[in-house]
A and B are shown apart, each in its own frame.
Chain A
Amino acid sequence: EPEVTQTPSHQVTQMGQEVILRCVPISNHLYFYWYRQILGQKVEFLVSFYNNEISEKSEIFDDQFSVERPDGSNFTLKIRSTKLEDSAMYFCASGPDYSSPLHFGNGTRLTVT
Chain B
Amino acid sequence: RKEVEQDPGPFNVPEGATVAFNCTYSNSASQSFFWYRQDCRKEPKLLMSVYSSGNEDGRFTAQLNRASQYISLLIRDSKLSDSATYLCVVNMGGGSQGNLIFGKGTKLSVKP
- Give A contacts to B, CB under 8 Å: 31, 33, 35, 41-45, 48, 56, 89, 91, 95, 98-99, 101-107, 109
Residue pair B102, A42 in contact (C-beta under 8 Å): yes
With the chains together, A102 CA to B49 CA distance in Å? 11
- A101 and B34 in contact, given A33-B98, A45-B99 (Cβ under 8 angstroms): yes
Interface size class of B (residues with CB under 8 A): 20 to 34
Q: How many A-B residue pairs have CB under 8 A?
A: 53
Residue pair B44, A48 in contact (C-beta under 8 Å): no
Chain B contacts for A91, CB-based, 8 A:
43-44
- Give B contacts to A, CB under 8 Å: 31-32, 34, 38, 41-46, 49, 87, 92, 96-105
Residue pair A33, B42 in contact (C-beta under 8 Å): no
Instruction: Find the B residue at minimum CB distance from A57.
Output: B99
Chain A contacts for B92, CB-based, 8 A:
45, 56
